Structure 1
Amino acid sequence: MEIALLLSKEHSTLPRAEVDAVMDCEGVKYHLKMEQEGLLILDIPHKNPEDLERVIERLSYTHEVFQILLQVDENDLLTEAEKYPWDEIVSSSYAVRVKKMDKKSKLNTSKLEWDLGGIIKSRVSDQVRVNLENPSTFLRVVLKDGQAIAGNQIGKISKKHFFNLKPHKRPFFYPGSMSPKLARCMVNLTRIKKGQALLDPFCGTGGILIEAGMVGARVIGTDIDYKMVNGTKKNLEHCGISNYQVFQEDARKLELPHKVDAIVTDPPYGISASTRGEKSHDLYHQAMKSLQGLIKEDGLLCLATPHYLDLDEILAGTKFKIIEQHHIRMHKSLTRVISLLSLV
């Protein structure tokens, strides 16, 4: 089957990279059919609804996913819709929503929703009703580049989760904490699987550990500041995550009884962060030398750094190599670099 993913436009490369990582992690094979701004179309040769459900549950930079039913010139949509067996798709209730993804289309979205809804109504049982609030079948139509892509929504990523877990809404808050959406994305980039161990050696308020715990990882967190350690524990408990180990330790001297499957971290930097007087470059370099011995050979490390630090210099003398990077402009004087690393 072919599926379409409506991607966030907050960033140019992270949404696609996250989809690739989660598909890979969950073992879902696919062929890329189309990639445009905000839209990804994939062909999945072997349909397994449970696999797709797990993928959708993990994503952060995707808005919704739908199975494609029709892909035609936008001016032919209603004609083709007249021929489609809607009674095989629509069950007890339905809603139709049209989304323009560029300014090229001259179609009126409200009229198109009304007309398409009327066609569907004439093809289904009299007992089937329109339900705009909570339909059993949600039909999405995307208009882009003169094309109309219509499909049955199979998943929608909840904004509520990322809103409710914003740093200032947790029991313990400290300025400079990473957004839950980016934290989830960084966790996903490491391809961590349910039941595997993930380490954040600069856990701060625990945002990364929360998102890792949400996808089923066993989480391990350390911080040099005992206040952060206690705060992380409070936040993890608040989010219902019990499978964790969090303790006070210096990341540059960290030892663990067993190697971990992935490391995700956002080390401190700048005026608002606690670096205990250590220069950021030296702190990062010493930490990376320590962390290379704590991760499994096939494990991945996802790291956030400010743009003004030279990551190649930081990694010099370690076994880590950069395999992908994404740049996020925070404001005019700071760009955050998200780097995915593997062992050589």
Structure 2
Amino acid sequence: MEIALLLSKEHPTLPLAEVRAVLECEGIKYYIKEKQEGLLILEIPLESPENMSGIIKRLSFTHEVFQILIEVDEEQLLGKTKEYPWDNIVKSDYAVRVKKMDKKSHFNTSKLEWEMGSIIKDNVASEIRVNLENPSTFIRTVLINGKAFVGQRMGQISKKHFFDLKPHKRPFFYPGSMSPKLARGMVNLTRIRMGETLLDPFCGTGGILIEAGIIGARVIGTDIDYKMVKGSIENLQHCGIHDYQVFQEDARKLELPSKVDAIVTDPPYGISASTRGEKSQDLYQQSMQSLQELLKEDGHMCLATPHYLDLDGVLEGTKFKIIEQHHIRMHKSLTRVISVLAKI
């Protein structure tokens, strides 16, 4: 079967990297059939659709996922819509929504939605009605580069979750906290599975721990500042995360009773109270020596660093190897680098 993913356009590489990582960790085989700006078309085995709901819930840089029913040149769209056996798809109420992904299409989206909706209604039982608010069947049409993709929505990623859990909306807030969307994306890049253990050795206000906990990971957080430890616990409890350990410790001296499956962290930058006066380069180097011993051999680490930090130098002499990187421009003088590391 073919599925389409509407990807966020806010970053050029993170959305695809996240999709790849999640499919990989969930054991879904796939083939990328087509990739255009904001749209990804995948071929996956027929036995996999039931697994997609869990995958969709994990994603952060994807807006929507739908199973492709019709793929056709735009000019043939209405003709193919009339030919399709909609009575196999639409069993009760339904809605049709059209999304233009470039300016080339001549279609008026509102008119096209009405025309397609009318065609579908003419091909199914008369008692089936349109429901624009909460339809049982949501038909998505995407127009891009002269082509039309029509499909049945499999799931939609909730914007409300990431809005409601913005750092300043949690009980404990501290400036500089990472957005929940990026935190979720970083967690996903480690390929962690439900029930596995994730460590954040610079947990701050707990944002990364929250997102990992929501997707079913067991979480461990440490911070050198007890105020952050206390605040993280408050935020985790507020978000309904119960399987956690959070305690005060220096990441450079951290020891655990057993190794973890993944490490995700956003260490402090510069010389400040958050680094206890330690230069970032020295703090990172010393921490990596400690953290490499805590990660399982097949585990991954994902960390955020400022562009001016020499990460290659930090990793020299450790078991870590950079396998992918993504650059996020924060403002004129700072680019945040998201790096995924594997043990060698």
> TM-score category by the smaller chain?
over 0.9
Q: Secondary structure at the match of 2:21?
A: helix
The aligned counterpart of 1:68 is 68
Distance 2:175 2:68 in 1: 43
Distance 2:142 2:70 in 1: 11
State the Cα distance separating 1:301 from its structure 2 match. Answer: 0.3
Paired amino acid for 1:27: G
Q: Superposition pairs for residues 220-299 of structure 1, below 5 Å?
A: 220-270=220-270, 274-299=274-299
Aligned length: 344
Alpha-carbon contact 1:26-1:54 (below 8 Å) kept: no
Establish whether residue 53 from structure 1 lines up as the match of residue 53 from structure 2. Answer: yes
Q: Which runs of 5+ in 1 are unaligned?
A: none
Q: Secondary structure at the match of 1:106?
A: coil
The aligned counterpart of 1:323 is 323
Distance 2:311 2:28 in 1: 32
Seen in structure 2, the aligned counterparts of structure 1 residues 237 and 18 have a Cα distance that, compared at 3 Å, is same
Distance 2:58 2:127 in 1: 35
Establish whether residue 138 from structure 1 lines up as the match of residue 138 from structure 2. Answer: yes
Runs of 4+ in 1 over 6 A off after TM superposition: none
Alpha-carbon contact 1:176-1:272 (below 8 Å) kept: no
Q: Which runs of 5+ in 2 are unaligned?
A: none
Aligned-residue sequence identity (percent) comes to 75
Paired amino acid for 2:277: G
Q: Secondary structure at the match of 2:22?
A: helix
Paired amino acid for 2:203: C
TM-score (norm 2): 0.99
Establish whether residue 119 from structure 1 lines up as the match of residue 151 from structure 2. Answer: no
State the Cα distance separating 1:190 from its structure 2 match. Answer: 0.4
Paired amino acid for 1:32: I
CA offset digits 1:122-178 (Å, max 9, x no partner): 001111000000001100000000001000001000001101100000000000000
Distance 1:47 1:197 in 2: 28
Distance 2:143 2:271 in 1: 46
CA offset digits 1:181-237 (Å, max 9, x no partner): 000000000011111110000000000000000011110000000000000000000
Distance 2:273 2:329 in 1: 19
The aligned counterpart of 2:13 is 13
Distance 1:56 1:321 in 2: 29
Distance 1:326 1:23 in 2: 19
Q: Secondary structure at the match of 2:133?
A: coil
State the Cα distance separating 1:49 from its structure 2 match. Answer: 3.2
Establish whether residue 164 from structure 1 lines up as the match of residue 164 from structure 2. Answer: yes
Paired amino acid for 1:179: S
Paired amino acid for 1:54: G
State the Cα distance separating 1:46 from its structure 2 match. Answer: 2.9
The aligned counterpart of 2:27 is 27
Q: Secondary structure at the match of 1:12?
A: coil
State the Cα distance separating 1:50 from its structure 2 match. Answer: 3.0
Q: Secondary structure at the match of 1:130?
A: coil
Distance 1:102 1:49 in 2: 29
State the Cα distance separating 1:306 from its structure 2 match. Answer: 0.3
State the Cα distance separating 1:89 from its structure 2 match. Answer: 0.4
RMSD, matched Cα:
0.9
Seen in structure 2, the aligned counterparts of structure 1 residues 319 and 107 have a Cα distance that, compared at 3 Å, is same
Q: Secondary structure at the match of 1:285?
A: helix
Alpha-carbon contact 2:322-2:339 (below 8 Å) kept: yes
